[in-house]
Structure 1
Amino acid sequence: MSIHLERVGQDDDALTTWKVAKLRWYLSCKSGGYLDNSNTSKKRDDEYIFPVIGGNGVMAFTKNVNITNETLAIGRVGALCGNIHHIDFDCWITDNSLFISKLREDILSYKFLAYVLEQLNLNSYSTSTAQPLITSETIKDRVISIPPLKVQQAIVRFIQVKIFEIDTLITDKEKLITLLEEKRQAVITEAVTKGLDPNVEMKDSGVDWIGKVPKHWRLKKIKYLFEIKKRVIPEENPTILSMTQRGIKIKDISKNEGQIAESYDKYQRVNVNDFVMNQMDLLTGFVDYSSIKGVTSPDYRVFTLREEKNSKEYFLYYLQMCYFRRIFYRFGQGVSKFGRWRLQTASFNEFLVPVPPVNEQVEIEKYIEMQMQEIQATIDIILKMVEKLREYRQSLIYEAVTGKIDVRDYIESE
């Protein structure tokens, strides 16, 4: 079937007449090839030079290739199924992806087809199995509008120019978010080590990561401020608490996601206001205090303030600073620095903490909270801008590949 589109901005019927057809008449596709991990390297070198393409793009490098011509790789299985990657280099496409093995290039260009498939959201056509899956039939059954090649080329040029402009804006805003995240950390570091009075008399703490502190502050070892708890009391249907990089969250074991224990009888109790620390992983771990009662991993460290008058928020900010500034990491021990780099109890107990008077702890806590709210509000505004830009990016691709945008300025004269 053919349709006549006025909105491509051309008066020539040869340019405004588009075909509407299933893709099966113009292409063939099949699964990539299995590649054993022993034949790959995470880093490119003189031996492993060819990219290995999976559902999320380049995932490793190998010595061999199964693709030597232009094609499209399409994520086949898992959460990334439907992802589109334009390939114009020698590579190995894995069996986690499909690829276009034949294409009527007198009818369709690979770059135009990539944009068409991207806006089709192929993931929405995945089958409901243990994990999402699309097949070659999923792709071949899609009905698309196909303009003449000259128009396809113009649409591709138009999209590339506009996407570059949009992606530049997105990158700039993401850089701004990074700067705000750094500011957030700087605000916390400054407040918990220097206080709020810029004119206060200072003294040397004798600790390099703390530097000078207000003269009237004290320095105390963690063991004098906190008491480590290890309460293992089996209970029926406990609330399971998990430590994430955003803090403590309740683990929904009914979803059977992540690491699921055979039994929670050996998990340790966590009371309200107890601190929980993932001291096993000082690279990506974190620390938080709990607002609910539950149980958590026996490998975590649970501890509580010895004096209730102290501000738990102030000390939490200090402890979290020691994670994001990699201070705890410096004192870790283990077989590997990646994954299981632990802060032993002895090192934890000897750790020095600046301790302002309680009234200053509260002032610092409130100041940081106010600053965090302001910074987060700004980040949220920028994130909404980024979301709108990404939505605009997708709508622009859709409008372009369906002939709803004037691309006359992008058609090359012969």
Structure 2
Amino acid sequence: MEQSLIAKFLDRKTTQIDEAIAIKEQQIALLKERKQIIIQKAVTQGLDPTVRMKDSGVDWIGEIPERWDIVPNKKIFSLKKNLVGKKSAEYELLSLTLRGVIKRDMENPEGKFPADFDTYQEVRDGDFVFCLFDVEETPRAVGLSSHDGMITGAYTVFGADPGVSKEFLYLFYLSLDSRKMMRPLYKGLRNTIPKDAFLSFKTPLPSLSEQKKIVQFVEVAIKRTELGITHMSEQIEKLKEYKTTLINSAVTGKIKITPGMVED
């Protein structure tokens, strides 16, 4: 009788907790989606909803503000390919991840490493790192480095025109990448974007002052959204902890289960 009461009690309570967790996970998903929408609208439509629009000339971007320019990437990005050669020991090892361009922990290495790093290429603070192959399967295909270091030669490193906001460019291409909107540029079975195709692509650009305003707006919005996601994640962890504690307390007799606790 007591075991049956405990089972019924835990079944009801854990179901309620799991439902609460599922709701909060859905809320996190919505917040992440909202963040992407905010970025996408800001970097393609600007901040003024009343501004006149024009066709960008790119189907998957659509209309952009009339006063924005459409600039070929070859005028914005400069291809870099500086191999570290025998000086690799002087460089930090970098990696492109969902968190952006990060330093690899060489004291606790994960994954495989080559016998030497001679063919790795130099990355400087402010450089862009693109993964232009297997783009469809790559979780993050663009990064803006805030580190000096080296990265595998399989990636493509670009410098950017100092007259353009690097942060704006990063948000623009991050938005395209998050929705895998650059599919029309893919070539071959590995969904590769050829460097010449990328450099021929045209980026819609507002004035530098407007680029900076957009970046500032997006950064504030992202921070607010991330705080919401963090809050929800903390609530989920607390619910999981409560569930574990509740199960343990019920099966060890720390709480007394009565028939009234399992009745509808």
TM-score (structure 1 length as normaliser) = 0.60
Q: Which residue of 12, 21, 25 maps to 1:161? A: 12
Deviation for aligned residue 1:204 = 1.3
Q: Give ranges in structure 1 of 5+ residues lacking alignment.
A: 1-149
User: What is the distance in 2 between the residues matched to 1:389 and 1:310?
Assistant: 46
Matches within 5 A, 1:318-337: 318-335=172-189
State the partner residue of 1:222.
73
Residue 61 of structure 1 is matched in structure 2 by none
Deviation at 1:259, TM superposition (A): 2.3
Which structure has the bigger radius of gyration? 1
Determine the structure 2 residue equivalent to 1:46: none
Q: Distance in 1 between matches of 2:119 and 2:243?
A: 51
> Which position in structure 2 is the counterpart of 1:370?
220
Offset of residue 407 of structure 1: 1.8
Q: Does 1:187 align with 2:38?
A: yes
2:244 counterpart of 1:397: no
How far has the Cα of 1:156 moved from its partner?
1.8
Is 1:266 the counterpart of 2:102 in the alignment?
Answer: no
CA distance in 2 between partners of 1:411 and 1:285 (Å): 49
SS at match of 1:295: strand
User: Given that residues 77 and 158 in structure 2 are in contact (C-alpha distance below 8 angstroms), is that contact kept between their aligned partners in structure 1?
Assistant: yes
In 1: Cα distance, 2:145 partner to 2:5 partner: 57
Counterpart of 1:285, as a letter, is R
CA contact (8 A) 2:84 2:150 kept: no
- The answer to whether the 8 Å contact 1:399/1:405 transfers is yes
Q: Any idea what the Cα deviations from partners look like across 1:345-366, whole Å, max 9, x if unmatched? A: 1221122211100000000000
Q: CA deviation at 1:292?
A: 1.3
Evaluate the alpha carbon distance shift between residue 408 and residue 330 of structure 1 in structure 2; reply closer, same or farther with a 3 A threshold: farther
Indicate conservation of the 8 Å contact 1:151/1:411, yes or no: no
Instruction: Give the residue type in structure 2 aligned to 1:292.
Output: H
Q: How big is the shift at 1:410?
A: 7.6
> Contact 1:170–1:386 at 8 Å: present in 2 too?
yes
Quote how far apart the aligned CAs of 1:406 are. Answer: 2.3
User: Contact between 1:157 and 1:410, CA under 8 Å: does it hold in 2?
Assistant: no
Q: In the alignment, what sits opposite 1:302?
A: 157
Residues 230, 165 of structure 1: alpha-carbon distance in 2 compared, 3 angstrom cutoff: same
Amino acid at match of 2:174: Q
Measure the CA separation in 2 of the matches of 1:212 and 1:186.
Answer: 16
Work out which of the residue numbers 353, 368, 375 in structure 1 matches 2:203: 353
Query: Where in structure 2 are the equivalents of 1:196-215 lying within 5 Å?
Result: 196-215=47-66
Q: Tell me how far apart the structure 1 counterparts of residues 112 and 132 of structure 2 sit (CA, whole Å).
A: 17
- Computed over aligned residues only, the root mean square deviation of the Cα atoms, in angstroms, reads 1.7
Q: What is the identity, as a one-letter code, of the residue corresponding to 1:196? A: L
Using CA pairs under 8 Å that are at least 6 residues apart, name the structure with larger relative contact order, 1 or 2.
2
Distance 1:220 1:411 in 2: 68
Instruction: Select 1:233's aligned residue among 84, 87, 108.
Output: 84
TM-superposed CA distance for 1:153, in Å, is 2.7
Identity across aligned pairs (percent)?
Answer: 35
- DSSP-derived class of the 1:253 partner: coil
Query: Deviation per CA, 1:105-133, whole angstroms, max 9, x where unpaired?
Result: xxxxxxxxxxxxxxxxxxxxxxxxxxxxx
Unaligned 5+ runs, structure 2: none
SS in 2 for 1:255: coil
Question: Of Structure 1 and Structure 2, which has the larger fraction of its residues in strand?
Answer: 1
8 A Cα contact 2:88 2:117, kept in partner: no
Secondary structure class of the residue paired with 2:107: helix
1:248 equivalent in alignment to 2:101: yes
Query: How many aligned residue pairs are there?
Result: 258
Question: Comparing both structures, which one devotes a greater share of its residues to helix?
Answer: 2
Give the secondary structure class of the aligned counterpart of 1:254.
coil
Separation (CA, whole Å) in 2 of partners of 1:384 and 1:371: 20
Separation in 2 of the partners of 1:167 and 1:316? 38
Contact 1:153 1:411 in 2 (8 A): no
Contact 2:76 2:164 in 1 (8 A): no
Distance 1:253 1:329, change over 3 A: farther
1:216, CA displacement in angstroms? 0.9
Distance 2:216 2:52 in 1: 22
Q: CA deviation at 1:152?
A: 2.5
Letter in 2 for 1:270: V
Q: CA deviation at 1:199?
A: 1.4
- What CA distance in whole angstroms lies between the structure 2 residues aligned with 1:411 and 1:174? 28
CA distance in 1 between partners of 2:107 and 2:114 (Å): 12
Residue type matched to 2:185 in 1? Answer: F
